[in-house]
Amino acid sequence: MLRSLGTEKGILGQIFTKSQNKIQDPAKLLKVIDMIGKEQWTMVGADIKGDIYEGLLEKNAADTKSGAGQYFTPRALIKAMVACLDPQPMKSVHDPSCGTGGFFLAAYDHIIRNHDLDRDQKVFLKNKTFSGNEIVAGTRRLCLMNMFLHNIGEIDGNTFISPNDALIADEGFRVDYVLANPPFGKKSSMTITNEEGDQERQDLSYNRQDFWASTSNKQLNFLQHIRTLLKVNG
């Protein structure tokens, strides 16, 4: 079942890519299936399913041993940033290091709460507003699942979360808003080469003509990348 789901088209296939059953104890597996089987999932609204999943992610992030906290920006901080930015309908929102998708969900809720959307605006919000990058496969899976459970995107539609390293290249598209909490530190495997050809390390390098500083500092590189992503009035 897991293998066949992994070959499906669209977001569904992406969620189940390389998935595996790690429950070795048959009795535990039976109990889990039994518990899931008792719920009437089709009767549960998207907001409740989404909240349940968000709660699980938060609980997982609080377990410091799992190291998941680095992919889970505190929701209070996200909400404050979204409130300051006040995203509007029919505008694009991007996160180049999106983790489990917290900024997308907060922006989605903010737009729905503060605007009476017409049909076109609803379609745009569901399918064309959000895009991002997440290079950690497991976290990207959680993000896609999170989006789907919050009614963003179509299960057989294109995935809007790229598995590529956002810093490698300017892919050419421009967005209205960037909401992000980029990775900190200098542990980047690559170093920037800017227009003048300055370079700090010889191994791998991002060759970005749009960057103004050569550095291995991740925050600054993300800041340079974010400036490139924004439209003129972004």
Cα separation, 197 vs 12, in Å, equals 43
Q: What is residue 216's predicted lDDT score, i.e. its pLDDT?
A: 75
Per-residue tokens: 168: 């490698």
In a domain, 145, yes or no: yes
In this predicted structure, the answer to whether residue 187 has a pLDDT above a threshold of 60 is no
- The model's pTM: 0.78
Average pLDDT over residues 140-166: 87
Q: Identify the three-state secondary structure at position 133.
A: strand
In a domain, 7, yes or no: no
Q: What is residue 126's predicted lDDT score, i.e. its pLDDT?
A: 93
In a domain, 177, yes or no: yes
In a domain, 143, yes or no: yes
DSSP 164: S
Q: For helices 137-149 and 102-114, give the axis angle rounded to 10 degrees.
A: 20
pLDDT tens figures, 160-180: 999 998 988 888 899 999 999
DSSP 99: T
Cα separation, 66 vs 62, in Å, equals 9
In a domain, 22, yes or no: no
Count how many domains the chain has. 1
Identity of the residue numbered 92: S
- Let me know: does 19 contact 5? Beta carbons within 8 Å: yes
Cα separation, 137 vs 162, in Å, equals 10
Cα separation, 201 vs 186, in Å, equals 12
User: Residues with Cβ < 8 Å from 21, sequence gap 6 or more?
Assistant: 2, 29
Q: Return the CATH number at 71.
A: 3.40.50.150
Cα separation, 197 vs 47, in Å, equals 50
In a domain, 2, yes or no: no
Percent of the chain beyond pLDDT 70?
Answer: 84
Q: What is residue 193's predicted lDDT score, i.e. its pLDDT?
A: 55
- Let me know: does 110 contact 82? Beta carbons within 8 Å: yes
Q: What is residue 115's predicted lDDT score, i.e. its pLDDT?
A: 95
Q: Is 24 left (phi over 0), alpha (psi -120 to 50) or beta?
A: alpha
- Let me know: does 115 contact 89? Beta carbons within 8 Å: yes
What's the domain range around 175? 46-229
pLDDT tens figures, 10-34: 888 888 888 887 888 889 989 988 9
pLDDT tens figures, 51-90: 777 777 777 766 655 555 566 788 889 999 999 999 999 9
Give the sign of the dihedral formed by CA 162, CA 165, CA 170, CA 175: positive
| More confident call, 46 vs 231 | 231
Average pLDDT over residues 86-97: 96
